[in-house]
């Protein structure tokens, strides 16, 4: 069965679903994390509030708490005169109540005294002698008030399981007094760069050598996706050395990414090593760029081989591996898209789906030309358009869905 899968080419959607199914058979382990370490983590369970937020009726302005009916018809020419009964200090409970003909000074965020049902802003009032306040504007019931539970009510689902927590989410957890919660453990990912021609970024190339761009790029991409990731170094196109490196890598990670050494050439050994160590799920994508990609598993470790060309490696990572990392985290993954007008025609007649990088500018999507082995064009792209294999390209001026990086 393994041999039959060598050079078995899948379309992108089939390959992605196959990997997601493989990831779905693995349980997502969880751990407790403190609120200061929650940014970017994925919630392992639904979060429900145990209290109302806010916990009391409070003012949304600096001003005077009033009984609204006292102010009906009030204006600068004919103000309503109210007796000031006291002040609610910030951070303190309102220790008194008011009734008709009376008001209380309350600052933004302060608690409303019992009996008040509206707020009048300071700038709509005038202080008068005798502890009187002239109210020069009518206040409807509920004006400038945030009522108890307006934000969140006890029992509300505030964040569903699978949410990747951002700063806004963490602010909500803090406001509700949740100092820690259960999150998915970060996927453990190892990266191996393969190829006789590769050298580390800090070295100067000689002869036909090139610096390894894919290793650091994929390391950063995995970290952005919320994984714990390590670059395991560069391995030459030597099957014995690659077998050893892959075997060692799989003892410590749940996902192994291989960069390069993935085509059908005699020197390209990674896919052959996978057949010896584990199982090949597919070998080849009906995709441009990205045809040499392959995937499978070695024991409990998923393995994905990415093309050696940096732009192709990143596009396949974004389209195939990023959703896989989300599945391994239990994340509710959503691809973010925008609609834009194609700024120029994009011919495509390769018999494969094409991922076309584009730059967004004022509602237009400008295609970014890729040449084999180049990486700088990708830095100018904001996302990509999928051109399906059964088309001969896209016409200028058509609306296209752009998948954002």
- Domains, the chain, ranges and CATH? 2-29+185-329 (3.40.980.10), 35-53+151-184 (3.90.105.10), 58-146 (2.170.190.11), 337-404 (2.40.340.10)
Q: Max alpha carbon distance in the chain (Å)?
A: 98
| pLDDT above 90 as % of the chain | 89
User: For residue 9, what pLDDT is reported?
Assistant: 82
The answer to whether 177 and 49 are in contact (CB under 8 A) is no
Instruction: State both tokens at 348.
Output: 């495509």
User: For residue 303, what pLDDT is reported?
Assistant: 98
**pLDDT beyond 80 at 107:** yes
Average pLDDT of 18-24? 96
Give pLDDT tens digits for 202-250: 999 999 999 999 999 999 999 999 999 999 999 998 899 999 999 999 9
92 exposed, middle or buried (CB, 10 Å; 0-12, 13-18, 19+)? exposed
User: For residue 268, what pLDDT is reported?
Assistant: 65
Average pLDDT of 290-299? 95
64 exposed, middle or buried (CB, 10 Å; 0-12, 13-18, 19+)? buried
User: For residue 3, what pLDDT is reported?
Assistant: 44
User: For residue 288, what pLDDT is reported?
Assistant: 93
Mean pLDDT of the chain: 94
Average pLDDT of 269-287? 93
Give pLDDT tens digits for 127-175: 999 999 999 999 999 999 999 999 999 999 999 999 999 999 999 999 9
Strand partners for 31: 183
User: For residue 4, what pLDDT is reported?
Assistant: 46
156 CB neighbour count, 10 Å cutoff: 15
The HSE-up count of residue 273 (CA atoms within 13 Å, CB side) is 27
């Amino acid at each position: 069965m393994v041999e039959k899968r060598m050079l078995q080419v899948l379309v992108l959607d089939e390959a992605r679903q196959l990997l997601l199914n493989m990831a779905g058979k693995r349980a997502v382990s969880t751990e407790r994390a403190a609120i200061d370490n929650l940014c970017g983590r994925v919630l392992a369970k639904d979060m429900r509030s145990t209290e109302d937020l806010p916990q009391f009726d409070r003012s949304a302005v600096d001003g005077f708490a009033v009984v609204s009916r006292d102010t009906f018809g009030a204006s600068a020419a004919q103000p309503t005169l109210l007796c000031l009964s006291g002040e609610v200090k910030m951070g303190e409970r309102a220790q008194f109540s008011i009734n008709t003909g009376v008001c209380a000074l309350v600052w933004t965020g302060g608690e409303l005294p019992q009996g008040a049902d509206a707020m009048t802003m300071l700038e709509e009032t005038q202080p008068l002698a005798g502890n009187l306040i002239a109210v020069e504007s009518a206040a409807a019931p509920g004006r400038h008030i945030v009522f108890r539970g307006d934000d969140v009510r006890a029992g509300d689902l505030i964040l569903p399981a699978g949410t990747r927590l951002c700063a806004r989410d963490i602010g909500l957890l803090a406001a509700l007094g949740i100092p820690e919660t259960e999150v998915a453990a970060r996927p453990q990912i190892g990266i191996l760069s393969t190829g006789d021609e590769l050298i580390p970024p800090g070295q100067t190339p000689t002869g036909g050598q090139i610096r390894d761009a894919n290793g650091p790029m994929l390391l950063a991409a995995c970290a952005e996706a919320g994984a714990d990731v390590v670059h395991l170094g560069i391995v030459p196109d030597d099957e014995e050395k690659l077998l050893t490196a892959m075997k060692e890598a799989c003892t410590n990670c749940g996902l192994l990414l291989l960069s390069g050494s993935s085509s059908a050439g005699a020197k390209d050994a990674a896919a052959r090593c996978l057949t010896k160590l584990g199982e090949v799920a597919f070998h080849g994508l009906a995709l441009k760029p990205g045809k040499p990609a392959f995937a499978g598993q070695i024991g409990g470790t998923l393995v994905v081989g990415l093309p050696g060309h940096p732009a192709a490696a990143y596009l396949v990572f974004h389209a195939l591996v990023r959703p896989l990392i989300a599945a391994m985290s239990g994340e509710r993954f959503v691809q973010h898209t925008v609609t834009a007008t194609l700024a120029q025609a994009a011919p495509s007649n390769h018999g494969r789906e094409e991922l076309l990088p584009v730059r967004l500018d004022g509602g237009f999507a400008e295609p970014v030309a890729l040449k084999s082995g180049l990486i700088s064009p990708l830095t100018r792209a904001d996302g990509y358009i999928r051109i399906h294999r059964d088309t001969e390209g896209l016409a200028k001026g058509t609306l296209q869905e752009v998948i954002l990086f």
